[in-house]
Amino acid sequence: MIDFLILVHLLGVIVWVGGMFFAHMALRPVAASLLPPPQRLPLLHGVFTCFFPWVWVSVLLILLSGVYEMMLLGGFKAGWHIHAMLTIGLTMMSIFSYIYFVPFPRLKAGVLKQDWLGAGIAMARIRLLVGINLVLGLIVTVIAMLGRLLVMGS
């Protein structure tokens, strides 16, 4: 059972963190260098419109599988790395929720009104927050591996 939960957890992480890496490190910089705001901002809005439902599914899978795994590992007696992953994961989920409910609707409204300045400000906010979440996602991945190695070595 634990192997299945780890698989579900990992698939959610791969979709979310991998998607953030792609969007932050490849898509947005290339779009910014090749497209003016009237083309770039609708493109990015469309990409996020397709990607964010996958993030919600990933968040749900990560949260449910992670909490269940934690309970199987002794609940609050689980190792330090489990608590670190939970804390960072909840922080990331909060940041994503903020992105989804605050700057993302502003991006959409700006694109619909062709208010490129307003849409650009919203996109800059999203980019900053996705960058923060990407760093947190990479840190939590390292913590997961280090914690697992330490547990296996003891």
Mean pLDDT by 10 residues, the chain (154 residues): 90 98 97 98 98 98 94 87 94 98 98 98 98 98 87 66
pLDDT score, position 1: 76
Domain that holds residue 62: 2-153
DSSP letter at 115?
-
- Please give the span between the terminal C-alpha atoms of the chain, in angstroms, as a whole number: 23
Whole-prediction pTM value? 0.93
> Strand, coil or helix: what is 41?
helix
| Number of domains the chain contains | 1
**CB contact set of 130 (below 8 Å; sequence gap of 6+):** 20, 23, 24, 99
Helical residues (DSSP H) of 1-115, grouped into ranges: 2-22, 28-34, 37-72, 80-101, 103-113
